[in-house]
Amino acid sequence: MTTPGTTPTTSPAAVITSRADVITDAPGRYAKQLLSHLGRKVEFVESPPGTWTAHILGSVARITVGDDVLILQAEGPDEESVGRIEHALGNHVERFGQRKELTVSWQRTSTTTPSEV
């Protein structure tokens, strides 16, 4: 309900976020391999340095190189879109790191308002 003379307020749509921290002694190498492979279909932009972001059908995929950790993030408006990003990033990293027995374990971190990316 709106009081006369006021502007109605709407709450922003919820966004589901998910994160996987992949412990490895070569996070830069796996990020480069993942970006090279996925970059054939989707444009990833680096900003800030060490973090690459792609916008995919209303969702966001993010890859960050940390100290001995490759951070994968998925953000989207629903479980299905976040799940697609988790699957694409996670399965590729596990395939690339099969010899090192890398595993990707996703944690749904929150349902919040959209972040500025």
Question: How does pLDDT run across 21-53, given as a tens digit for each residue?
Answer: 999 999 999 999 999 999 889 999 999 999 999
- Domain locations in the chain as residue ranges: 15-109
Q: Is there a contact between 88 and 38 (Cβ–Cβ < 8 Å)? A: yes
**Fold annotation for 15-109:** TATA-Binding Protein (3.30.310)
This prediction's pTM: 0.82
Q: For residues 111 and 44, what is the distance between their CA atoms, to the nearest angstrom? A: 24
Q: Find out whether the peptide bond into 48 is cis, omega within 30 degrees of 0.
A: yes
Compute φ and ψ for 34, nearest 5 degrees. Answer: -65, -45
Per-residue model confidence (pLDDT) at position 34: 95
Q: State the pLDDT confidence band at 14, using cuts at 50, 70 and 90.
A: confident
Q: What is the three-class DSSP state of 46?
A: strand
Q: Which amino acid is at 86?
A: E
